[in-house]
Structure 1
Amino acid sequence: METLLFRFENGQRKQPQNAQLVGVVSSGNLEVLISAADLNDGCEIEVQTAANGFGPIWQAVMRDFQARWNLADTRIQINDMGATPAVVSLRLDQAVEAYLEGKA
């Protein structure tokens, strides 16, 4: 298992206080837990992955995700069992969309 940590500064979109879990860890999939955290407008993402050595790919996917959503004061935990970058992006977008629905 490899642990990767990413932090993005100066986010603009703050999230509600509830947490949201999307996906299930199983063969070739991942789960995403997203929650509010006091991070001085930052967004922190921790990835636990069974696929070692893919840090640059994860970094590119996380940078693209943050560019789309521009999250602030948000902590994201990802548990991965070898999902493709497309699945990672899909699950992250699903998590944020479900999280935003909790705002209403």
Structure 2
Amino acid sequence: METLNYRFEQGRRSLSAEPRIVGVVSSGNLEVLIESTPLDGACEVGIQTAAVGFGPIWQAVISDFQERWQLADTRIAINDMGATPAVVSLRLDQAVEEMLGEAK
């Protein structure tokens, strides 16, 4: 297992809804827990992954996600069992969209 942590400062979009879990931890998939929490405008992403040695790919996927959403005061925990970058992006977008849907 490998643990990766990322922090993005000065986000612009805050989420105000109950925490959400999307996806399942199984072969080729992942689970995303997203929650609103005071982080001085930052977004923190913590990843536990069975696929060791893919830090640069994770960095690219998570950076792209944050560029799209510009999240602030948000913590995301990812439990991964070998999901492809496309699945990671899909689950992250799904988590944010569910939070935004509840806030309406």
Where on the TM-score scale, by shorter chain, does this alignment land: which range? over 0.9
TM-score where L is the length of structure 1: 0.98
Name 2:14's counterpart in structure 1.
14
What value does the CA root-mean-square deviation take over the aligned residues? Answer: 0.6
Pair 1:50 & 2:50 matched: yes
Deviations 1:60-88 (Å, cap 9, x if unpaired)? 00000000000000000000000000000
SS in 1 for 2:103: coil
Name 2:100's counterpart in structure 1.
100
Structure 2 residue runs without a partner (length 5+): none
SS in 2 for 1:95: helix
Identity of aligned residues (%): 67
Q: Distance in 2 between matches of 1:17 and 1:9?
A: 21
Q: Distance in 2 between matches of 1:96 and 1:11?
A: 14
CA contact (8 A) 2:20 2:35 kept: yes
SS in 1 for 2:66: helix
Alpha-carbon offset, residue 102 of structure 1: 1.3
TM-score where L is the length of structure 2: 0.98
Name 2:91's counterpart in structure 1.
91
Give the AA of the match of 1:94. Q
Paired residues, number: 104
Pair 1:25 & 2:25 matched: yes
Structure 1 residue runs without a partner (length 5+): none
